[in-house]
Amino acid sequence: MTLPAIGLGTFRLKGQTVIDSVRDALDVGYRAIDTAQIYDNEADIGQAIAASGVAREDLYLTTKVWIGEFRRDALPASLRTSLQKLRTDHVDLALIHWPSPDDEVPMAEYLGALAEARAQGLARAIGISNFTVAQTRQAIGILGAKAIATNQIEVHPYLQNRRLVAFLREQGIHVTAYMSLAYGEVLVDPVIRSIARRHEATPAQVALAWALQQGYSVIPSSTRRGNLAGNLEAAGVRLDEDDMARIATLDRGRRLANPEGIAPAWD
């Protein structure tokens, strides 16, 4: 399945905040929504979708399985619970949120359980998130590269993750970039702002266009309707070679998602 280029991220959004964000996003044209079990907002998202009037077949829903649900007997059941909350009989994409810390659960066990969940019809496609090169190589050995729809990883101008991205491209595994705006840090970057002025675009649109032009999917979040609409329009911003080269110089290895006790040894 082809992943949508732009989706709505919902990290850190809960309750009425995420309900309003999903409602506004669907209203301005989003058709892909990304959530996770640990976000504790799947039920709110399900409520917002049900009230939107948008047909389920027109939506692309992604959720991510948390590390506490990796055992073979627990993972499919946890996905069924996610489906109940989302008010659907399947997600379009189910991801392993993080590799099991210290391999507490063997990768063969939880990836095998994820593949079984797909075989049961709980997810149309499966993938991984926050896997390093070595971990992705191991996952390929278990599932085969063709079975891995994406590796969802942190990518933005300050963390361009080039080694991992190059490996994923070699293997034909799609890149989904999260934290594309680096929690807003890139929005005040002089280089990004200069490029934005030249294109009569917003800094957010430039950062997203930079990712889109490299073939990544992006899942920015926002609680403001205007920003949601503006982010969606990033697909129409065309950066030239000079723009891309200038943004390439911004890479500083600035990693924002690095939870202690969970994050792997990064590339």
Catalytic residue of the set 30, 39, 158, 216: 39
Residue 155 · residue 166 · CB < 8 Å = no
CB of 142 within 8 A of CB of 111? yes
Q: In this structure, how many other beta carbons lie within 10 angstroms of the beta carbon of residue 205?
A: 24
What one-character DSSP code corresponds to residue 35? Answer: -
**What amino acid occupies position 80?**
R
- 97 annotated to bind ligand: yes
Give every CB contact of residue 35 below 8 A, 6+ residues apart in sequence: 10, 41, 42, 45, 61, 62, 63, 64, 86
Q: Tokens representing 151?
A: 């590796």
Give start and end residues of each alpha helix (H) in 91-187: 107-119, 133-143, 162-171
- Which candidate, 129, 187, 133, places its Cα nearest to that of 158? 187
Can 39 be counted among the known catalytic residues? yes
Q: What number of residues does the chain have?
A: 267
Residues 52 and 23: their CA atoms lie apart, in Å, by 6
Beta bridge partners, 58, equal none
* Distance of alpha carbon 15 from alpha carbon 44, whole angstroms: 6
Binding-site residues for substrate sit at 97
What residues are labeled active site?
A: 39
